[in-house]
Amino acid sequence: MRHRVRARAVETSASGILVQSEEAVAVGTIVHLQTANFIAMGKASVRHCTQKGLMYRIGLYVPDRLVRSL
């Protein structure tokens, strides 16, 4: 089952990306990352998802170097 979630990158590190979204994503989910123009950037796995106010902060582990270089 596919589900599209809009998220905005908040912070990047050597091994991941922290994104913010209006929707929660389950820990362990493999996600496909795309730019706003639908250009595929690679895959990541959800390491944590924490609600902050009305938004969710989602930590993504990104093994692909191309994505980490954002």
Domain harbouring 31, CATH code: 2.40.240
Give 3-13 pLDDT, tens digit per residue: 889 999 999 88
Please, which pLDDT band fits residue 1 given cuts at 50, 70 and 90? Answer: low
Whether 42 is in a domain gets the answer yes
Q: Is the pLDDT of residue 68 over 60?
A: no
Whether 2 is in a domain gets the answer no
Domain count within the chain: 1
pTM beyond 0.75, yes or no? yes
For residue 56, the enclosing domain spans: 7-68
Give 21-41 pLDDT, tens digit per residue: 999 999 999 999 998 888 888
Please name which of 12, 10, 11 lies closest in space to residue 68, comparing C-alpha atoms: 12
Whether 24 is in a domain gets the answer yes
